Amino acid sequence: MGRAFNFSAGPAVMPEAVLQQAAAEMLDWHGSGMSVMEMSHRGKEFISIYEQAENDLRELLAVPAHFKILFMQGGGLAENAIVPMNLSQGGAMDFVLTGSWSQKSEKEAGKYGTTRVAASAQAEGFTTLPDPATWQLGADSRYVHICSNETIHGVEFHELPDLKALGSDAPLVVDFSSHVASRSVDWSRVGLAFGGAQKNLGPAGLTLVIVREDLMGQALSHCPSAFDYKLVAENQSMYNTPPTYSIYIAGLVFQWLKKHGGIAAMEQRNIAKATLLYDFLDSSSLYVNKVAMNCRSRMNVPFFLRDESRNDAFLAGAKAANLLQLKGHKSVGGMRASIYNAMPLDGVQALVAYMREFEKTQA
């Protein structure tokens, strides 16, 4: 059957050109006589790969000079502990609960300080975003945490909150795991952003942290050295061995993004893909998406069949049509189409065509 359209939430679809390049370079990278995974992380070959990746990412995301880019490990979930270990100073932290991922972050941070819920959309089943004007932000807050794209509930902040305008001096911490590089970031509103690579940047194993310099150097004394942002930054993310192969592949993805017009062009493509899918869902009498219009995710589109007894038939037909991994997260059920940067418009068109045909057979 060849390569399918893969709607997995993560690890997820990669640009085919990147996989081909990695395959071509697998045994002998640029005449070095080695695969990238066989190189010393301190050798000049890998250092050049690392520096190119960091520079390309800084350029793509327009990361200002007073932010450090760290390539870490442990995934988004480890950052739920690493962030409070580095930023809380044992004090209070405010969380905005908009779905499963921000809930997890709040729970984990409670091990390192006092967490407070500034706002929650739980009563609405996480189908809306609480209006920032209603957030209860503490004056003594060490930081305010949001998940800017809730991968499971399909809720996205289309604009980051301006905490200063809300009367708070606390830095904003953003979990952008599942929509990093899908749109531009207003760094003037951000203190720290983190994300696992396996949704939109590359293979699992690499965790991206972008942190304002003045927030480093205040880690709790029991914070593991390998997770102390200041130490990691001082050692160019090589305090210990970084996930070298994942960094290399992410670097190829950054090159691919640049070649295809950068983040602005990617954002336009993502808008076109999401609009196609949501417009179809809204016009259908079989499928439904329950998320409020103003906060629908461009990356993760959960939807339900109004007749849930047809779920298995829907998934089996999709698989036969080479449309994979559409089953929704077990905590919410239904279906989910993740349409990250590397999902071409063709893939969303094929999905919509299949869904339209399936709906006809249900009449």
Ligand X SMILES: *Cc1c(COP(=O)(O)O)cnc(C)c1O
* Residue ranges in contact with ligand X by CB under 6 A: 10, 75-77, 101, 147, 151, 175, 177-178, 196, 199
Angstrom distance (rounded) from CA 118 to CA 352: 38
**Phi and psi, residue 90, nearest 5°:** 75, 5
Q: How many CB atoms lie within 10 A of CB 31?
A: 7
Q: What single-letter DSSP state applies at residue 4?
A: P
Catalytic residue, from 29, 175, 228, 327: name it. 175
Q: How do the residues of the chain divide into helix, strand and coil, expressed in percent and rounded to 5?
A: 40, 15, 40
Q: How far is the CB of 74 from ligand X (least distance, A)?
A: 7
Between 154 and 305, CB nearer to ligand X: 154
The candidate with the shortest Cα–Cα distance to 178, out of 198, 158, 164, 159, is 198
Between 280 and 327, CB nearer to ligand X: 327
Residue type, 35: S
Under 8 Å between Cβ of 230 and 125: no
Q: How far is the CB of 73 from ligand X (least distance, A)?
A: 10
Q: How far is the CB of 177 from ligand X (least distance, A)?
A: 4
Q: How far is the CB of 42 from ligand X (least distance, A)?
A: 26
Distances (CA, A) of 348 to 172, 276, 280, 321: 33, 8, 11, 13
Q: How far is the CB of 356 from ligand X (least distance, A)?
A: 29
Does residue 101 have an active-site annotation? yes
339 Cβ partners below 8 Å, 6+ apart?
7, 270, 273, 274, 277, 298, 299, 300, 301, 347, 348
Q: How far is the CB of 101 from ligand X (least distance, A)?
A: 4
The candidate with the shortest Cα–Cα distance to 300, out of 129, 178, 159, 198, is 178
Residue pointed to by tokens 């399936």: 358
Does residue 327 have an active-site annotation? no
Between 90 and 333, CB nearer to ligand X: 333
Catalytic residue, from 68, 94, 101, 327: name it. 101
The candidate with the shortest Cα–Cα distance to 323, out of 279, 283, 353, 294, is 353
Between 10 and 347, CB nearer to ligand X: 10
Between 39 and 179, CB nearer to ligand X: 179
Between 105 and 255, CB nearer to ligand X: 105
The candidate with the shortest Cα–Cα distance to 245, out of 29, 90, 17, is 29
Angstrom distance (rounded) from CA 290 to CA 113: 35
Between 255 and 300, CB nearer to ligand X: 300
Catalytic residue, from 199, 230, 273, 327: name it. 199
Please give the sequence-ordered ranges of beta strands (E in DSSP) within the chain, or none if there are none.
5-6, 67-72, 92-97, 114-120, 144-147, 149-150, 155-156, 172-175, 192-196, 207-212, 287-288, 300-305, 323-324, 335-338
Q: How far is the CB of 75 from ligand X (least distance, A)?
A: 2
Give catalytic residue positions.
101, 175, 199
